[in-house]
A = this chain, B = another copy of it.
Amino acid sequence: MASATHLFPIRHDAIPSLLQKYGIVPTTQRIEIAATLLCERQHLSADQVLKRLTEHGVSVSKATVYNTLGLFAERSLVRQVIVDPAKVFYDSNTEPHHHVYNVDDGTLIDIDTANMCLEQIPYPPRGTFVETVDIVIRIRNTV
């Protein structure tokens, strides 16, 4: 499950095998949802994914979109990004990287971890393990 990270752009017909590689049964709806999010490096909310599907004439229920994106995240096919108190972003880029979030306009962009050295991370408490280390640079527009 989940070896080397996939490369963009991902062809539509490569998606079923990609899903299988992550232990996800490739159903019609899951393939469409994956195609929507994984077509390029991007950050979309569940609602945005649903909207894009609808706009392209693909009918998938809200529950399935939310459940499927949650499943993708659980299986590490995509990454959740928690920067906005109002919604979760799903990130098609699963390589280690951090984020710059523009609080004013909601823009979310990737920054490479290269050169950004984070040292002396404390040990996690007993009985716990580190899942992720997220760095978010919050920026605002100058007046």
Complex CA gap A80/B82 in Å reads 13
Interface size in chain A (residues, C-beta < 8 A)? 37
CB-based contact B120/A142 at 8 Å: no
- Copy count, this protein chain: 2
> Which residue of B is nearest A89, CB measured?
B85
Q: Which of A107-133 contact B (CB under 8 A)?
A: 111, 115-122, 124-125, 127-133
Q: Does A84 contact B (CB under 8 A)?
A: yes
> What distance in Å separates the Cβ of A113 from its nearest Cβ neighbour in chain B?
10
Chain B nearest Cβ from A76, distance in angstroms: 14
Determine the residue in chain B with the shortest Cβ distance to A83: B82
CA–CA, A69 and B133, complex, Å:
27
Assembly CA distance A127 to B104 (angstroms)? 12
Given contacts A82-B83, A133-B135, A133-B137, contact A142 B122 (CB under 8 A): no
Which residues of the other chain, B, contact A88 by a CB distance below 8 angstroms? 85
- In whole angstroms, how far apart are the Cα atoms of A49 and B45 in the complex? 29
Chain B positions within 8 Å of A85 at CB level: 80, 82, 87-88
Asked if A132 and B128 sit within 8 Å, CB to CB, the answer is: no
Answer yes or no: A100 CB below 8 A from chain B CBs: yes
